[in-house]
Structure 1
Amino acid sequence: MKDFRLYAITGEEFHPGRDLIEVMEEAIYGGVDIIQLRDKSGDKPAILEKARALRELTRKHGVTFIVNDYIDIAMEVDADGIHLGQGDVPLVEARKLVGDKIIGISTHAIEEALLAEAQGADYIGVGPVFPTKTKVDVVDPVTVDYVREVAGKVKIPFVAIGGIKLRNVDEVIAAGATRICAISEIVGSSDISGTCRSFLDKLDKWGES
């Protein structure tokens, strides 16, 4: 997989009245280099339609496209990969279904992170770092201590996620994160591209220090 720095996940509840594709394209213009479609409430035909549109958009801009949970939809639209939670299809089984496509795994403890690495995950999500309202079944925050632990022990790429805002991202980067994921802070912004550039500026600043 191509390396990445800023990962955006769809969250239509944070931009009511604004078109999904327009919102995500603004994020791409701001520097997002990987997009995940996550829709926990829509019906399958609607999610498939969104996936097709996002696949077209990301292919147009050369951005990596990931589908959350729905392996069948990811394969149907030729997404670049899938993202799975701890309660989803086991990674080993998913690999048999998707072949060499990207597989990302959400992790909340170092044991999960090391297992995902050993089983061949291409990257892991590390979080939620801070309290977040983007998921109804969210686990307790793992804090930056977990970010620091993963940075010291895991060799595959990891992305910090969960409650990350411009006001607290410096703490996450200082703990060792070089890849950031945000949802509401990006898609709910009145200046999506500007918010994305601000995240990247902070990553650049820490990278130079």
Structure 2
Amino acid sequence: MTADLSLHLVTDHRVPFARLRDLVDDAVTAGVSVVQLRDKVASGAELFARTLDLADVIAGRCTFVVDDRLDIVLAARERLGAPVGSAGNRARVDGVHLGQSDLPVDAARALLGPDALIGWTANTPAHLTAAEALPAGTVDYLGVGVIRATSTKPDHPRPLGVDGFGGLAASTPLPCVAIGGIGLDDVTALRRAGAAGVAVVSLVSEADDPGEVVRHLRAAWEGGA
């Protein structure tokens, strides 16, 4: 699937869901291009309900993916009855972001079909080599990080920094989205280092005015062109 990867909002399970709905709405209106629902503590039933709810909030205004849970994506797509990539402002789920220990990405592609967006976490040269060995079209983008130390993932690998990220991004033809502890001052540099996009969590979720932060992020991204 072809998608604008420039600015990802990854949700934070620590934000109460009622607040999260408003936060996502504000962020999408302000210019987020991808929303990733990430919640590793919700039950399956809760995550399914939240996926449907956020799909309705987003209403096709940007790409919407779910972290890890291909089963939730498949069930939500079945419930919504809207094909991936359908035109118009209608609730939909566009794909999934998978980690190295999740269901293999080739299996996910077989289940989701060619029009879904599939991202894969890749933090080392070996991960990038494995991604490039897959058939073309299996993975749409790689999530590469962490850039800085981050509290949202306490077990994160050693931070790459902008230069480390740039080295990995330059070694693969696959689009690389930078993630992990990214600050506003990193965005322009990351784009110039080869990022296809940046993904943020706390920078937006902890802001008093999420929409304003997103507008600053969008401006910083455009400044790196």
Return the TM-score normalized by structure 2: 0.84
Residue of structure 2 equivalent to 1:115: 130
Deviates more, 1:68-77 or 1:144-153: 144-153
User: Deviations along 1:116-163, whole A, 9 cap, x unmatched?
Assistant: 233221111010111011123322212223321233222222210000
Is contact 2:4–2:34 with CA below 8 Å preserved after alignment?
A: no
Residue of structure 1 equivalent to 2:162: 144
User: Deviations along 1:13-42, whole A, 9 cap, x unmatched?
Assistant: 1x4585221110111111001000100111
Residue of structure 2 equivalent to 1:26: 26
| Alignment RMSD (CA, Å) | 1.7
Q: Deviating runs (4+, > 6 A) in structure 1?
A: none
Q: CA deviation at 1:97?
A: 2.2
Residue of structure 2 equivalent to 1:130: 148
Distance in 1, Cα, partners of 2:175 & 2:17: 35
> Do structure 1's residue 7 and structure 2's residue 8 form an aligned pair?
yes
Residue of structure 1 equivalent to 2:108: 94
- Shift of the 3–148 alpha-carbon distance from structure 1 to 2, 3 Å rule, reads same
Residue of structure 2 equivalent to 1:81: 95
Which consecutive residues of structure 1, in runs of 5 or more, have no partner in the other structure? none
1:34-113 to 2 correspondences below 5 Å: 34-58=34-58, 60-78=59-77, 79-100=93-114, 101-113=116-128
- Number of residue equivalences: 205
User: Deviations along 1:57-82, whole A, 9 cap, x unmatched?
Assistant: 22x24211101111111011122111
Amino acid at match of 1:23: L
Distance in 2, Cα, partners of 1:81 & 1:16: 24
1:162-181 to 2 correspondences below 5 Å: 162-181=180-199
Deviates more, 1:60-69 or 1:149-158: 149-158
Is contact 1:130–1:142 with CA below 8 Å preserved after alignment?
A: yes
Is contact 2:5–2:177 with CA below 8 Å preserved after alignment?
A: no
Amino acid at match of 2:108: A
Which consecutive residues of structure 2, in runs of 5 or more, have no partner in the other structure? 78-92
